[in-house]
Structure 1
Amino acid sequence: MANFSTNLPCPAPFYDSREFGASGGSNMQIHIDVEGRLCREISPDFKCCLPCPMTDWVYADNFDPLIDAAGWVAVVATACCLLLCLSWAFLPVQQTSRHYLSVCLTASAILLNLGFIIPLAAQPDKCYDTITPNDMHTSPVCAISGACVHFGGWAGVMWLFMRSLSLHLQICWNIPDGRTFMLWAFGVGWGIPVVGGILVFVLNGVSFRFGSTCYTNHTHSMEVFWIPLLVLIGLAVLIAFATLGYCIKVYIAVLSDPARPLPSGASVSTFATRMGPRQLYRRVRRVLALQWRGIAVVSIFLATIVFYAVVFAFQDNVVRSVTHRPEVAVEWGVCLIVEGGDKDKCLDKISRHVVSQETLIAVCILLSLNGVWLFMFLGKWSMVRGWIQLARDMTSSRSAVSEPDPSLPLSRVSGEVKSYQILSKGSAASY
């Protein structure tokens, strides 16, 4: 930022950090720091800081409304997820094809979306004071939204990994996901997100960085959050490509010589060596026909999360470099002073040091769309027929109770109604 003298007050639009307390809000850092105060250090106890929030100075005026639009997309996506969950809960499995991998992935999407919906409803104050943003210690909404985003993000990646691994085992190794795999998946799929979320809060913390949702601070974000997440995403992608490669290999084998069995080293699995190419092709095609929805969900979600992780990891890296080289923002700071705090005339001088507004908004909207993708690929027309049938059954049941046959004696009707009520209670309890 600009050069100041310790003998002069901070020029507008900057504020003297000594006028504000050092407690509360995000941790104080020097130079440009999107985690906390946006300051230029003049001396160890004197900093000139821009007003909070930081995004008001580095992005256009329409930034916050566009970020809020992503929150409304999350509302629609959450409604889609809840409709899926209700269908899985109340409709027969023959009509929904419910599976614990789908249910857990949908629950993860709901948690992630709550990180956008809760701030949208609460409209929290992003700033602790004039120059200090709120964080998880000073804003309950920040703590809750940050927990939902990071725990839901971790859980989503874990259950995508589980779906990718399950599909690989079924196609390449002919191993169904039985009870053992299910118990292991539940333990790992929810245990690791809990540990990952706790580490983010304990070792790094969350604060208002942009919009009304809290994200992890920059200090240890790579070590605590981004690197483990990217490693897990990389494993899921490798497994998905291995599965795809196996399917292509089987298809090529059928085209080249459908009568000749595969040699012992020609397949990913030893199971495949005991089958001919045409048998393998029929088995793989059958599994793909059953699992294409899950494959589509995994592919779209992995692409979205990779985009999200790369963008934010890049932003953290840029902020770290700017923190250690404050001279790169001197031109921007001087521009703000010369222009009397008119940020619009200085946006071009800071734009190369932050992630572009369009990219951030695209990431938020893509993350919010996860529930819509789940509804599109995991929802079925048989669910619609199931709800129609359920409504008809409930209507006919009420009619049977409320409209007794007038030809029957009153005592017989009363006995049948009483028996129906007892049967309903017994059925509900057993279910």
Structure 2
Amino acid sequence: MSSNSTVCPPPFLLKSDFPELGGATNSRLCVPFLQAPGMPICCLPCPKQNFFYPDRFQKIVHATVFVDLASVICCGFLLLSFAVLPIEYTQRHYLSVCLALAIFFMQLSFIIPIGAQSSQCYDRITPHDMYSSITCALSGAALLGGGWCTVMWTFLRAFSLHLQICWQIVPGRRFFLAAQAFGWSIPVALLAITLSITGVSFRFGESCHINSHMGLQTFWAPLLTVAAASIVLQAITFGYCVQVYLRSLFEEKGASQVTGGSGLPYSNSIRTVTARQAFRRIQRVVALQWRGILIVIMILADNVYFATVFLAFDGTTKKTQQNIALGFKWANCMAVNGGDKYACLDIAKTIVIEERNALAVLFLLSFNGILALLLLGRPTIYRGWYELIRNLFKRPKKEFVSYDARRLSEPGSSSYEMLDKRTDPMVSRPESKAGNGILKHPVPPPLQSSTVLEYNPATFSAKLRERAEAEGKGYSPYTRPPYSLRTPSLTSPFSSFKETQDYFASRTLHPASKRGDESVSTPPYSPYQDSPINSSDPSRRIQSPYGTPDQDIGVAK
């Protein structure tokens, strides 16, 4: 290594001093300064990006780490809210939860190198790859796997929205199971293929990215295919919405036209009603899912931009005649200027991607977690956390129970104190005095005002039966006449309402027995037979417990 200063100009190092023992040896940037066989080859020190960009670039790259940290915190907070808070605060859905989880995995790729605090270089000219650094392997796998999961769940969200709007199909359990199967298995399978064939290494920024070898075939082409399918589905869905909206506008005049005098609408007006109903349904779906639609559009746009920038970056590393010529031109500039990179930045811009594009990619990748919280989260999440924390530190209130409180099923006098407000005011509860106190006898539930008063055998018939037994008369209850299909007779055992008379009960049910007239036979007593006596003695009337003393009780004849 002592001959490095005489063989390789600064800042280059002699390649032979660093044997290929590990790391991403294909990522070395080495050039022969003398075009002669057997001459030494000089390589640029690691990391290479420090010589192609100004010093502020590396400071900005380090600043993106704090954005990544904030993004991971926001995404983790969103996932924790989905898991802890009730659904009325989060309005969670498995498509939103899985998309947020995929973004969280992708954001972890930028945090893993911070915790590891490992160098990006295997030696002075060789960067680490996934075989030489576990940090590189984890960060690269999280980035590629999280990116694949994000694109897949974005496609599933776009497909679900397309089914609901265009085909009026609400995804159910089958769609849920298929989404879980394809949303996780396909990214895992393609990630395994990508890592085994292409691999990852420290190429750009603080985390590992996919290598250029077979990167287009194993990663970028399948990823862009799924992203393109999502874009097509989203475009078809929006095209259908615009078509329905325009049809409802242009056919509005036809909806008011009717046929001549019939009052029936034309066929185009019927189609207008259908178009309006479809447009209202689309409005409801879009109003509920506009956040998901917006994040799908933004993630798809980011993925397309990432793919464009990284594919352009891979193009600068290929060994083409143009790249080799530009590389020699820049190396000679560095050798002539003694390793002053600022003197050769104009040439370096033609070799690598532009500084603004590189920083835009890093910041957009770091901002996805914050974007997920803003669009997938709802303002009610914060109120839900407030209620949860307040309930944790809030003492439970002691419930006040009255000493006299009893269940309605318990017997006792208190069971009859709580009367319904619809209780009939004419019904009173009998009271009996015992000693100095008043005993309240339990009575049946009071009659409601909406209940029709019916014939009560416990009161009216019982009194009549007692009178009949006291007079020695037999009690003959009413018997229903036998049914017959012939025409009934004109006589009826019942008299009309106008012919009914007040019934006056007396000791002798027939007046002939009182006068001693034996010629008049006393008919057998029946509660349904009126007495012919028209007495006006109010003391001989039977009093109903539900009526006033002045009321007469009329019975059928």
Q: TM-score range by the shorter chain?
A: 0.7 to 0.9
Q: Specify the code of the residue in structure 1 equivalent to 2:356.
A: E
Structure 1 CA distance, aligned partners of 2:130 and 2:393?
A: 49
User: RMSD of aligned C-alpha atoms?
Assistant: 2.4
- Counterpart of 1:381 in structure 2 is 379
- Counterpart of 2:325 in structure 1 is 327
Q: Specify the code of the residue in structure 2 equivalent to 1:155.
A: C
Aligned residue runs from structure 1 range 11-410, under 5 A? 11-28=9-26, 36-41=27-32, 46-258=40-252, 276-320=274-318, 322=320, 325-396=323-394, 398-399=395-396
Q: State the 1:146 CA deviation.
A: 0.5
Deviations along 1:345-378, whole A, 9 cap, x unmatched? 1111121121112211111111111111111112
Deviations along 1:247-290, whole A, 9 cap, x unmatched? 000000000004769xxxxxxxxxxx897111111111111111
Q: State the 1:45 CA deviation.
A: 9.1
In 2, are the aligned partners of 1:259 and 1:276 still within 8 Å (CA)?
A: no
In 1, are the aligned partners of 2:136 and 2:208 still within 8 Å (CA)?
A: yes
Match of 1:362, SS state, is helix
In 2, are the aligned partners of 1:259 and 1:278 still within 8 Å (CA)?
A: no
Structure 1 CA distance, aligned partners of 2:228 and 2:317?
A: 25
Q: State the 1:342 CA deviation.
A: 1.1
- Counterpart of 1:428 in structure 2 is none
Match of 1:213, SS state, is coil
Q: Percent identity?
A: 41
Q: State the 1:171 CA deviation.
A: 0.6
Q: Specify the code of the residue in structure 2 equivalent to 1:65.
A: K
Choose between structure 1 and 2: higher helix proportion.
1
Provide structure 2 residue ranges, at least 5 long, that are not aligned to the other structure.
Answer: 1-5, 256-270, 404-557
Match of 2:228, SS state, is helix
Q: Specify the code of the residue in structure 2 equivalent to 1:76.
A: A
Corresponding pairs, count? 380
Match of 2:353, SS state, is coil
| TM-score when normalising by structure 1 | 0.83
In 1, are the aligned partners of 2:149 and 2:184 still within 8 Å (CA)?
A: yes
Deviations along 1:162-182, whole A, 9 cap, x unmatched? 111111111101111211111
In 1, are the aligned partners of 2:194 and 2:218 still within 8 Å (CA)?
A: yes
Q: In structure 2, do the counterparts of structure 1 residues 321 and 243 end up closer, same or farther at CA, with 3 Å as the change threshold?
A: farther
Deviations along 1:35-88, whole A, 9 cap, x unmatched? x11112565895321111111111111222211222211111111111111211
Q: State the 1:126 CA deviation.
A: 1.0
Structure 2 CA distance, aligned partners of 1:373 and 1:345?
A: 40
Q: In structure 2, do the counterparts of structure 1 residues 373 and 260 end up closer, same or farther at CA, with 3 Å as the change threshold?
A: farther
In 2, are the aligned partners of 1:322 and 1:329 still within 8 Å (CA)?
A: no
| TM-score when normalising by structure 2 | 0.65
Structure 1 CA distance, aligned partners of 2:41 and 2:369?
A: 44
Provide structure 1 residue ranges, at least 5 long, that are not aligned to the other structure.
Answer: 1-7, 29-35, 262-272, 409-431
Q: In structure 2, do the counterparts of structure 1 residues 174 and 321 end up closer, same or farther at CA, with 3 Å as the change threshold?
A: farther
Match of 1:183, SS state, is helix
Match of 1:137, SS state, is coil
Q: State the 1:341 CA deviation.
A: 1.0
Q: Specify the code of the residue in structure 2 equivalent to 1:369.
A: F
**Which of these two proteins has the greater Rg computed from alpha carbons?**
2
Match of 1:353, SS state, is coil
Q: Specify the code of the residue in structure 2 equivalent to 1:148.
A: A
Q: In structure 2, do the counterparts of structure 1 residues 190 and 324 end up closer, same or farther at CA, with 3 Å as the change threshold?
A: farther
Structure 1 CA distance, aligned partners of 2:272 and 2:225?
A: 34
The structure whose RCO (Cα within 8 Å, separation 6+) is larger is: 1
Q: Specify the code of the residue in structure 1 equivalent to 2:177.
A: L
